[in-house]
A and B are shown apart, each in its own frame.
Chain A
Amino acid sequence: MSASSVRLGVDIGGTFTDVVLESGQDFYSTKVLTTYSAPENAIIEGLHKVCELSGLKPSVIEQIIHGTTLATNALIERRGAKTAFITTDGFRDVIEMRTESRFEQYDLNLQLPEPLLPRHRRYTLAERINAKGEVMIELQRQDVEELVDQIAAAGYESVAVGFLHSYVNDVHEQLVVEVLKDKLPNAMVSVSSEVSPQMREYERFNTVIANAYIKPLMKSYLGRLSDRLGNEGVGCSIFLMHSGGGIISIDSAAEFPVRLVESGPAGGAVFAANIAARYGLDKVLSFDMGGTTAKICLIKNQTPKTSRVFEVARTYRFKKGSGMPISIPVIDMVEIGAGGGSLARVDNLRQIRVGPESAGSEPGPACYGRGGERPAVTDADLVLGKLDADNFAGGSIILDVNGSAKALSRHLGEELNMDTETAAFGLVEVVDENMANAARVHAVENGEDLAEYTMIAFGGAAPLHASRLCEKLGMDRLLIPPGAGVGSAIGFLRAPFSFEATRSVYMKLSDFDAPLIKKILQELEVEATRFVRSCDSNANILTDTKMYMRYSGQGWEIPVSLTPQQAKNPDAELFQQLFDTEYTKLFGRPVEGIDVEITVWSVNATTPPQAVERLAEHAGADAATVTGTRRLHNPATGNMDEAVVVERNAIKSGNQVSGPAVITEDETTIILPAGFNGVSQSDGCMDLRRER
């Protein structure tokens, strides 16, 4: 894309649809309410608004990049199509039996989430392939035909196919596809060896079923969107953000809609990665806090960390195991139920608990004065002086401090014998600690020490809490970019075309088969590259090869990257060395005398990242213009100190602000506690440093 091109980023979220128009260096953004029944309507409305703002016509837009929570919501709300699943005899209940465990051990009345498809929509066929890919029981075409007749008679809209060990040998799955095409040409078909060719049947079957389940809905939506945009005079191609942080063509998205799950948050991570590149930062923690959840992601070398499996639709307080696993390449994020609307209570241990229950936008926190009676994080922020009652959301809502104080005092203060301010402090400390704990555990799981990291914070509530989080995590630098409210949509515009192809092939280093490895990696490269080519026929394509390795006998693989050169010349000794290095980094020391095995191979093909100009950083010179003072709670002493108030719009590049201070803007407020210094950079980022 040339520097002057006109592009549109669109993020459909749960409440708002964000639309960002970029024309060369200029940006125009808007937020409109999401229109659930026909989500394309909100996009068109947003399109009109940004076109009006910019004075540009829709026809000059050269590229549209779109991310959406529609796929995720369809899974959470179970609004998918009537779908049948065909699997191996003896394994009808894999998605229902899950891991045979309880995600909450002390709840006698625990309820497990219902499987995506009820048992009577799951069918089996006599067939069996073993772990080596050898056919033990051959699938009979006649059996398939009989079953397909039954499925046709029942009128299913979508069919998922998943057989045991199909990631090694897909011959039986392909036979079913053939018969389906023949006898049921209009049915949408999803096959596990194509959607998610990874070992572990629960994850793979659930993923292919999820794909099939949302496919009719997403296909129809994407078709309508294309048509509507065409009617508005938009002639360019539409691309979709996927969960792995790249973009794919609208056709690939319609074929593999499960890859769109979590595409909004992925955009946020790409947004942060792009800022990291601007500042030349190799170790970044992105912190995105909105109304109901906070998301935390590690970004190393300007690339968000990715993973192969994640969980959607958690049904029980965001608890691990209470959702359903989806095995696709995904940006690895921790999401916890902590946002501005998260509600607080005192439990019977006299402990303050915050979230995951949220006040949402209706009735909202007590200070909205819309009937909310319980204290939310926003109420505590208001009482502690972090928010200005008269200038919230650009003055569109006047906040009721008394309402907040009453809620805090009734639900926390009276119970714990604390005054209102201390109760508010306790609430905020608990929610900040929850987020810090999530970040710490995530860092430990990845063998990272956060002390060396810089935080990039965005989302409506993040700038209010980020500095305290830095203190808790021992981090010394914090960047708060402008446009924090539409970060994901901006991120879409920064994402490369990319597609990651993965495959499970089990190999011990003692059984090293170099020709086979070459073949696998080459096939994966061809597959991944093909998807990227379908978006851009000339671009230079880079590939990133990863192996997932472990000691024989362990259950947890760690990713090991190969350079293109190393991938072309597989070498057992080198692979061992690379593994030892990674293992030592994570766990301190290698284990001697145990064979190492590779379980999964992946190749990510991507267009080069957009060229980012390294920013000339200001050290800070003149103090920013102070417009007033405000009483602000000091978490180190528990006192209310006097803090200066600065308007972000009035800050010039290079201006300096010293804490205690609050920097106000329409979308959010930045808090600088005592000990923090901020300098406004030429790209509009506030660059905060903690003095120690």
Chain B
Amino acid sequence: MSKQFSDVANQVMWNRLISVVEEQAQALVRTAFSTSVREAGDLSAGVYDVQGRMLAQAVTGTPGHVNAMADAVSHFIRRIGEDNMFEGDVYITNDPWEGTGHLHDITVVSPTYHNGNRVGFFACTAHIVDIGGRGFGADAASVYEEGLYIPIMKFAERGEVNQSLVHIVRGNVREPQQVVGDIYALATCNEIGQRRLVDMMNEYGIGDLDAIGQFILENSKRATVERIAALKNGTANAEMTVDGFATPITLKVSLAIEDEKIVCDFDGTSPVDKKGINCPLVYTKAYACYALKCAIAPEIPNNAASLQPFETTAPENCVLNALHPAPVALRHVMGHLVPDTVYGALDELLPGLVPAEGAGSLCNFQVSLRPRTDEKAPDDAVRAEVLTFNSGGAGARPDLDGLSATAFPSGVMTMPAEATEHTGPIIIWRKELRPDSGGAGRQRGGLGQFMDIGALGGHEFDISAMFDRGKYPARGRRGGHDGAKTTIEQDDGSKMQGKGKQFVPHGRKVLMAFPGGAGYGDPAERDPELVKRDLVLGYISESQARDTYGLAEDKITEAREIVRTGSSF
């Protein structure tokens, strides 16, 4: 094959590998039982060379798994041992430190063989329905309380499934059929990837992935390093304080651009928390790296080489590098706040690139409904667990308003209210934009949302809240104002906490207001036409238009008239 001709083949094979892992991910989305996988895309899939270097990762998936997946396979190779690997093997773990950050994520790795030789690995991860222990929430004091732990081991050897492991899993989780179903789904999706890879190797007549791997990694490395090298070297520090569980937590970063790499060091960050909001380093790395990639090299696909120049360090047993046995179930709450912290520092080095702070963490909550206990419950009252995903507002960008009620940095989707109401006797009374919650600015922060919930008659419930930004709002940049804070209370006015499990008696509603993103630039510089538009659309109130943005009275009158007549603007 001529050099030029094989270059074309390499171009095509790189495309193919990205498509193969996408097929792998789609298969998982369609077979998984876990809501967070199928509705929210909380999964990941990738293909690796024989040394365990990630060559391609599915676009479908959430950023939290980016580096975690890139590192995981080398742990498997080390733990299983190359001499102990056979065709038809499937490996498994949910180790938060060698997998993807908490026990609820199961990672499955399968070695791939071609003509009897091991040529690479496929791996995938999914957030499963349940892993036993206390259930999904922040309330555990150590990882031992958070559920069943599966060290790196064989799920199947030479195609033979380890039935003892299956029994142990079944005996330890609340939804055994679904959890075991999910493990099989993970194994199956690796198989789909393996078949496609072998097809490709046959088509191109190659016996190993060495050449194509080298082509991918070299090009990715070069492109990433070029991007970083084009930036001026420098160091900047930033810190951000957030609610935490019972006591506030400060996230601190020192960010250094050094020739061909960028290093984030989280020295000075608060120590490990008592409750399960701690982050293993692997998850911190994922979000730090994601934040930097978005800002600096967004279109370079994820693989071992394109991730390598982004380094992350954090002192042991800080909240962003929690060691075993710290509780880590809700590691996403802190993890999702890492990008805003990193952007605080990056903004000093590269002004005009990154957004203002936003809601950050997803505004998720789990509701446990049951027949009322204060009086006799109706006969058709039931028990149900309902998990929902919701988002506050994103931070304003240097030239664009923030996105309203849209997840950032997480990549998840919300569920339709109608679908949620079919999963249990919950009523969603309100789910709509929250006016005046976007931080004012030349560019306005994204709006948060209102969400009111209750139960069908005859039921009471516990709500397990997972909210932040209740005491510490998203902060504005360059004169932009802060976003609105999270609030949560019952409809009789009784206050509730942003995190933890809380009881709601029969007949009461929980009223929640999720936070807005912060503004960018001085609100006085905002184009009055945009202020008027925001007023027409009800994104802001008349008082904010007048007092914060200084919109003239005649414009306010015009806006009222447009609203009355439903006219264009």
Contacts and interface: CB of A to CB of B under 8 A. Distances in A.
B417 A554 contact: no
Contacts of A105: 59, 63, 294, 411
Contacts of A1: none
Given A100-B406, A101-B412, A429-B11, A551 B33 contact: yes
B223 interface: yes
Interface stretch (B150-158, B367-375, B561-569): B561-569
Given A101-B407, A347-B299, A433-B15, A555 B413 contact: no
B432 A352 contact: no
Interface band, chain B: 35 or more
Given A90-B430, A90-B431, A156-B566, A118 B537 contact: yes
B2 A91 contact: no
Interface residues of A, number: 81
A430 B11 contact: yes
B19 A437 contact: yes
Interface stretch (A47-55, A106-114, A219-227, A298-306): A106-114
Interface in B352-390: 353-355, 389-390
B416 A108 contact: no
Interface string A336-357: 0000000000011111100000
Nearest to B406: A100
A102 B19 contact: no
Interface string B292-320: 01110011110000000000000000000
Contacts, number: 231
B97 to A, nearest CB: 25
A96 B38 contact: no
A444 B219 contact: no
B417 A101 contact: no
A82 B562 CA distance: 13
Given A90-B430, A429-B12, A130 B456 contact: yes
A109 B399 contact: yes
Interface stretch (A196-204, A210-218, A456-464): A196-204
Given A201-B418, A555-B35, A556-B29, A422 B432 contact: no
B192 interface: yes
Nearest to B18: A437
Contacts of A588: 188
B422 A430 contact: no
A interface majority secondary structure: loop
A108 to B, nearest CB: 5
B178 A199 contact: no
A102 B406 contact: yes
A260 interface: no
A418 B6 CA distance: 11
A425 interface: yes
Nearest to A154: B566
Interface stretch (A363-371, A528-536, A568-576, A591-599): A591-599
Given A97-B433, A110-B403, A437 B15 contact: yes
A397 interface: no
A416 interface: yes
Interface string B65-83: 0000000000000000000
Nearest to A637: B5
A582 B346 CA distance: 52
Nearest to B300: A349
Contacts of A99: 413-414
B181 A594 contact: yes
Interface in B409-450: 411-414, 416-419, 421-422, 427-433, 449-450
B475 interface: no
B482 interface: no
B452 A111 contact: no
Given A101-B406, A351-B11, A556-B38, A108 B355 contact: yes
Interface string A158-171: 00000011000000
B22 A441 contact: yes
Interface of A: 82, 84, 89-94, 96-97, 99-102, 105-112, 118-121, 128, 130-131, 136, 151, 153-156, 164-165, 199-203, 347-352, 416-419, 422, 425-426, 429-430, 433-434, 437, 440-441, 444-445, 472, 474, 506, 551, 553-556, 586-589, 591-594, 638
Given A100-B414, A105-B411, A553-B129, 12 more contacts: A101-B41, A101-B406, A108-B295, A109-B399, A153-B565, A200-B418, A201-B417, A201-B418, A352-B11, A474-B199, A556-B29, A638-B8
23 contacts: A90-B432, A96-B404, A97-B432, A100-B391, A101-B41, A119-B538, A120-B566, A131-B422, A151-B566, A199-B418, A347-B299, A349-B223, A350-B219, A351-B219, A430-B12, A441-B22, A444-B26, A444-B27, A444-B192, A472-B203, A551-B33, A551-B181, A588-B188
